[in-house]
Amino acid sequence: MLNRRILLTIILLLSTLSLMVFQSTRKPFRPLPAIQNTIIHILDIFNKTYENIKAPFRTYSVMKEENLRLKKEIAELKLQIQKDEEIRLENKRLKNLLHVKEKGSSVVAIAKVVSSGLRKWPAIILINKGSKDGIKKDMAVRTSDGLVGKVTDVLPEFSRVLLLTDPSFSVSVRIQPSRIEGIVSGKGNGQCILKYILKEEKFEQGQLLVTSGLDGIFPEGIPVGYLDNIEGMDELFVTINVRPVIKINRLEEVMIIK
């Protein structure tokens, strides 16, 4: 009995460690898409059942269709307002020029969140749109409020989205009023940090951070978070805590943009 247990432990250790070493030197191993799709489909069925049970309580007397339409309308209007604010600031800086090239983004798809991730520290969500809907790896994901993350893995009918709160995520940002630029990364606890801000720069708590577009992945002007307290500093830079604009635990619908 003990020998069998030792043998199983050795087999388990050797196989999983070699699998993980292989993946760390190359790229994460993805099992057959069919297996992934099946499991995600089952998860989706459970999720839809849960949503259906919840729906009558949530929508109450408001018709579901009407609600969705209004939500979409609000989302589009919020997008427009944010874009206008960016353009207003841009206009202010470039008032001597006659023509300003608009840097907008277009919506590829609107997706529902199937699962808010199974990792112990929620940093990845599953959405119900995939390559069939035109989604590609590295596309930006947002809500009407602000940045959610980016697409890391695309299946035919589903995609995985890495949230901005993950430590491996980073996005080029600027502080909206002062235009100071830096990099926002996740902390892994639902919060983010702003890095590479020179010590002599002036900023205030509560100021809004928006994407700068300099990383070539995220379009310019998407709200990312609000400046919080200073976390630390070295000889050159300060690191500032950031409160994300979006509520990660309450994500329901997201927009995939390019």
- Residues contributing to the site for another protein (CB under 8 A): 1, 4-5, 8-9, 12-13, 16-17, 19-21, 23-24, 28-29, 31, 35-36, 39-40, 42-43, 46-47, 50, 115-124, 126, 152-153, 160, 162, 165-168, 187-190, 248-249
Give the Cα separation of 185 and 137 in Å (integer). Answer: 19
- Interaxial angle between packed helices 33-59 and 64-93, expressed in degrees from 0 to 180 and rounded to the nearest 10: 100
Residue with Cβ nearer another protein (45 or 77): 45
Min dist CB 69 to another protein, Å, is 26
Residue with Cβ nearer another protein (89 or 230): 230
Residue with Cβ nearer another protein (117 or 213): 117
DSSP H or E run through 87: helix 64-93
Min dist CB 88 to another protein, Å, is 35
Give the Cα separation of 83 and 37 in Å (integer). Answer: 36
Min dist CB 223 to another protein, Å, is 20
Residue with Cβ nearer another protein (88 or 119): 119
Give the Cα separation of 175 and 103 in Å (integer). Answer: 18
Min dist CB 214 to another protein, Å, is 23
Residue with Cβ nearer another protein (123 or 254): 123
Contact yes or no for 226/163 (Cβ under 8 A): no
- Spell out a b/e string for 52-61, using b for 16 or more CB atoms within 10 Å of the CB, else e: eeeeeeeeee
Tell the burial category of 253 from Cβ atoms under 10 Å away from its Cβ (0-12, 13-18, 19+): middle
Residue with Cβ nearer another protein (4 or 95): 4
- Spell out a b/e string for 203-234, using b for 16 or more CB atoms within 10 Å of the CB, else e: beeeebbbbbbeeebbbbbbbbbbbbeeeeee
Provide the sign of the torsion angle of the four alpha carbons 51, 53, 54, 58, taken in this order: positive
Min dist CB 175 to another protein, Å, is 24
Min dist CB 168 to another protein, Å, is 5
Neighbour count for residue 102 (Cβ, 10 Å): 9
Cα end-to-end distance, the chain, whole Å: 58
2's tokens: 């003990």
Min dist CB 138 to another protein, Å, is 14
Residue with Cβ nearer another protein (14 or 81): 14
